[in-house]
Chain A
Amino acid sequence: MTDMKKSPTEQERVGVYVCHCGSNIAGTIDVDEVAKFAEKNPNVVVSRNYEFMCSSTGQELIENDIKEQGLSRIVVASCSPHMHEKTFREATERGGLNPFLYEMANIREHGSWATNDKEAATIKAKALVNGAIERVVHHAPLEKIPVSINPNTLIVGGGIAGITAALELAEAGHHVYLVERDGTIGGHMAQIDKTFPTLDCSACILTPKMVDVGQNDNITLLTYSEVESVEGYIGNFNITVRKKARCVIEDLCTSCGDCEEKCPQKVVDNDYGAGISTRKAIYRSFPQAVPGYPVLDKENCTYFQTGKCKICEQVCPTHAIDYEQKDEMLNFDVGNIILATGYDLFDARKIPQYGYGRLPNVFSSMEFERMVNASGPTSGHIVLRDGVTHPKSVAIVHCVGSRDQNYNEYCSKVCCMYSLKFAHLVHEHLPGAEVYNFYIDMRTPGKGYEEFYHRLLKEGTHFVRGRVAEITDADRNPGEENKLIVQAENTLLGQQQRTPVDMVILSAGIQARHDAEEVSKLFKMGCDYDGFFNERHPKLAPVATMTDGIFIAGACQGPKDIPDTVAQGGAAASQVAKLISQGTVMMEPVRASIREDECSGCRICNTLCPYNAIEYDEEKDVSRVITALCQGCGTCVAACPSSVIDGAHFTNTQVFAELKGILWDVQEEITAKQEAI
């Protein structure tokens, strides 16, 4: 490191802190060796390793060293800056230094967690730490830039999560744009009959909230609409929404329902009706729909398909039908965004051995929810596919598409509980019927959940511990004729068991929305392998995301039951409310600036800037950065032919220094050879 001694900045007094993160780092990286190595750098005056740098004691180490050892620069080697950069900047500041005189070396996510090779991990850690040291000595004190927060909020998804969040904010006096893809809000909760474990009627507790949303002046409700584009950043997002043409003039429609009643075209309702009920071509998903005006489904409308009919137009007393209606583009600004886009149910057709779609009396869980619902196609009667026969025996199959490498590896969390609920509902509706629950493990964590399981045990449900292998109508033994045979091992007996039943219900798991990937890209945030949106921190920031100003709530973040979903809706709302009441947030001062005296006025940067944040001064023949508009991407910095644009906190000098630093070992070889020559 002879050349480092020549470093012009060796007068800087750097403190280096290597974090063990328990065994997360220390288990793979020799933190002691790394700290000792750092000490050798001429700029370093203090080099420590400590078990948990993010702990208050860890932070105090920094603060005290700054005061006592007169440190001028701080380097912490621990986790990702996206995890704790803020923490240590604040510690640096409390110590009396400008927070930007601090640099982080990510030796956990990019180091100890990414390899098992201890030696290699330690070498890499040394490199990253050295890079940070070399970089930080070139840091300059910076001031954060205040950004004002637009008090309006966009909420995407009108399920119980979105509804909760919208009401929380609206009732706190903030304006909300609630965007829902379907014709009505309500989401999955509007489809289901009873909620576990309390068994209160889902619609009864949901619809009042839906009405509140419809009536609250602080909520702009945009149903049958989808977000087209999202521009900007925290506090200042610009949103474009496509309001799809429902062919109904909302101002004229009185929601009388005549059009729906008279429409001659019956369609199987695969959305709200889960495919076992029908609706009309112009329809409201259900009577309590909010808003009350219907949607005209062009694919199935006789007029749109054949050019004849127009019955709805004739019967509409207020002439609210408009076949010419076009999609409408709405544009508005918001300060924050809450995504509550919910989930899709696993498609049981993907498991052929369960016969769903082939065997009529195999039902999906949502089909059963609709069937057992008083407002459903059978007005709440549990019947076979023929629509009349009551089953004498019902098998409920857990873990359909969950806990399975072939489909979804994770546990869907709610299926055990709703399967128990189904069992109860069958007992309640058909007292004589036998009910069998086939499960791998009974998972009932939650208030009153285990008690509900015990209640079902007492109600006489048969619980078979064994994952169902196949469901067939091929009878083999006497007593199986014209039945569905559920074949599984009763693992507690170690015996294969064939259970003949009349009806099978497949408890399908929860999946990310089929288009979750595109949505996450639209909002510039991440999803995990399963397509669920990534929270900022799994424990400590469950509703925040890596993108400031964007929050998530409900099952779009992972399988969740109603209580947890409502809790997250509220949590997201309060996070937004906090930002609104702050009024402004401090933004990273990572901005470009042009040294005008050296600018040649070539204007290359002007056209490159994606935010038109660079203006050209005719008189002086120089370009100038409009700091308020600059987002700090640095494209102009890289492009400037005369290198007179500085990207604060990412200056060429800083990057070059870091580069040299992380290549210390290979550097040594080279310099050795250089000196040889």
Chain B
Amino acid sequence: MTDTLTSRPPTLIDKIIAETPGKASNLYACLQCGTCSGSCPSGPDMDHSPRTIFAMIDSGLEDQVLMSNTPWYCVSCYYCMVRCPQEIPITDIMYTLKRMAIEAGYFREVDQDKAPEFSETFMDLVENNGRSFELGVVMRHHLRYHPLSAVKLATGMGLKMITKGRMDFTPTKIKNLPQLKAILKKAKELGGAA
């Protein structure tokens, strides 16, 4: 539970905390010390450092937060999370931000950013087969969104992978696919995104 004493109507930070499992309420206690941003491997490529995002969240800058590429550049390395002096589950919060961005239809504005499509490609595969496989995802992803780089991929690294016998084009399907689909269908009804 949170120790917050305020009974104000829920703001952006409250929403995000509610949507995140674990001790997300620690986000209230962010010191703005920058340990997360200092630890972040992809930090330099982010629109806003994780710490900045938290400051923006606290200031309720919903649009800017959800439009930022920051969560999409999170590589889930969890360094920020183990180092945070306030034990904020930062990585999980980044996942929440991604979901909220998709729900709000914001990520599309982040043009140079292919992350959501990638995740969706991946998801389609999983939902229709029950299994995935990096290279299938990669190829499909590129064929779908970046045909040119797909060619480069197919002739370059892709080719090597095929010759090494490390690449499939169709994933193996699981036996009880109907069961999985039923589960996922129900799960989506119960609050799909975010």
Seen from chain A, the residues whose Cβ lies within 8 Å of a Cβ on chain B are 353, 399, 403-406, 440, 465-470, 487-491, 494-497
Contact = CB atoms under 8 A, between A and B. Distances in A.
- The contact size tier of chain B is 20 to 34
Contact of A491 (B34, B40, B43, B79): B34
B38 A488 contact: yes
30 contacts: A353-B83, A399-B33, A403-B31, A403-B85, A404-B85, A405-B85, A405-B87, A406-B85, A440-B33, A466-B34, A466-B38, A467-B34, A467-B38, A467-B85, A468-B35, A469-B37, A470-B38, A470-B39, A489-B49, A490-B34, A491-B32, A491-B33, A491-B34, A491-B37, A491-B51, A494-B48, A494-B51, A495-B44, A495-B49, A496-B40
B66 to A, nearest CB: 18
B85 A487 contact: no
A491 B43 CA distance: 12
Nearest to B32: A491
Given A353-B83, A405-B87, A496 B31 contact: no
Interface in B63-116: 79, 83, 85-87
B52 interface: yes
Interface string B104-132: 00000000000000000000000000000
Given A494-B48, A494-B49, A489 B37 contact: yes
Contacts of A489: 34-38, 43, 49, 51
A480 B92 CA distance: 33
Contacts of B49: 489, 494-496
A406 B83 CA distance: 8
Contacts of B44: 495-496
A467 B39 CA distance: 10
A467 B83 CA distance: 10
Nearest to B29: A405
Given A495-B49, A496-B43, A496-B49, A487 B87 contact: no
Given A466-B33, A489-B38, 13 more contacts: A404-B85, A405-B87, A440-B33, A466-B34, A466-B38, A467-B34, A467-B35, A469-B35, A470-B38, A489-B36, A491-B32, A491-B37, A494-B48
A353 B33 CA distance: 16
A21 to B, nearest CB: 18
B45 to A, nearest CB: 10
Nearest to B86: A405
A406 B87 contact: yes
Contacts of B34: 465-467, 469, 488-491
B141 to A, nearest CB: 28
Interface in B5-41: 31-40
A468 B38 contact: yes
Nearest to A351: B83
B127 to A, nearest CB: 37
A466 B34 CA distance: 5
Contacts of A487: 38-39
Contacts of B79: 469
Contacts of B38: 466-470, 487-489, 496-497
A494 B48 CA distance: 7
A635 to B, nearest CB: 42
Contacts of B48: 494
A469 B84 CA distance: 9
The 4 nearest A-B residue pairs measured at CB:
A469-B38, A489-B34, A489-B37, A404-B85
A599 to B, nearest CB: 56
Given A403-B31, A489-B49, A496-B44, A469 B86 contact: no
A353 B82 CA distance: 11
A465 B37 CA distance: 12
A490 to B, nearest CB: 8
Contacts of B32: 491
Nearest to B88: A405
Contacts of A496: 37-38, 40, 43-44, 49
A467 B31 CA distance: 10
B48 to A, nearest CB: 7
A634 to B, nearest CB: 40
Interface centre among B36, B37, B43 (most CB of A within 10 A): B37
A440 B83 contact: no
Interface centre among B38, B48, B87 (most CB of A within 10 A): B38
A398 to B, nearest CB: 10
B43 A440 contact: no
A530 to B, nearest CB: 15
Contacts of A494: 37, 48-49, 51-52
A469 B44 CA distance: 14
Contacts of A405: 85-87
Contacts of B85: 403-406, 467
A497 B37 CA distance: 10
A496 B87 CA distance: 20
A353 B31 CA distance: 20
Interface centre among B33, B44, B48 (most CB of A within 10 A): B33
Contacts of A399: 33
Contacts of A468: 35, 38
A469 B34 CA distance: 8
A497 B49 CA distance: 12
Contacts of A440: 31, 33
A468 B49 CA distance: 15
Nearest to A490: B34
Interface in B136-189: none
Contact of B39 (A469, A491, A495): A469
A465 B48 CA distance: 17
Contacts of A490: 34
A367 to B, nearest CB: 24
Interface centre among B34, B39, B85 (most CB of A within 10 A): B34
